[in-house]
């Protein structure tokens, strides 16, 4: 991830496609934790980390169990 100072106090993030996929999944997971009432202001940053960890675990399971078209024998991307 490339984080650059855009202007005073603002950050610019340029996420790679795989990072963006994890970000999107983690955001949805975090939102579910919030809507279920599990997240408090005191433990919000813990739940950010938990959501990212959960998204990465799900991604690893998908990668292990599903072959994309490019991964099939005789196919080239």
pLDDT digits (tens, 9 = 90+) for 36-72: 999 999 999 999 999 999 999 999 999 899 887 776 7
Task: Tell me, yes or no, whether 55 lies in a domain.
Answer: yes
> Helical H runs in the chain?
17-35, 44-65
Task: Tell me, yes or no, whether 59 lies in a domain.
Answer: yes
Task: Tell me, yes or no, whether 74 lies in a domain.
Answer: no
**DSSP assigned state of 2:** E
Question: 70 φ, ψ to 5°?
Answer: -70, -20
Averaged pLDDT score across all residues of the chain? 87
Task: Tell me, yes or no, whether 77 lies in a domain.
Answer: no
Task: Tell me, yes or no, whether 37 lies in a domain.
Answer: yes
pTM equals 0.73
Task: Tell me, yes or no, whether 35 lies in a domain.
Answer: yes
Q: Which domain holds residue 44?
A: 25-66
Average pLDDT rounded to a whole number, residues 21-50:
97
Domain count across the chain: 1
């Amino acid at each position: 991830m490339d984080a650059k100072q855009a202007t005073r106090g603002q950050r610019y993030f340029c996420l790679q496609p795989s990072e963006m996929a994890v970000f999107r999944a983690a955001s949805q997971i975090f939102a579910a934790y919030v809507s279920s009432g599990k997240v408090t202001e005191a433990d919000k940053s813990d739940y950010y980390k938990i959501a990212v960890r959960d998204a990465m675990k799900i991604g690893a399971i998908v990668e292990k169990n599903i072959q994309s078209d490019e991964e099939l024998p005789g196919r080239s991307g």
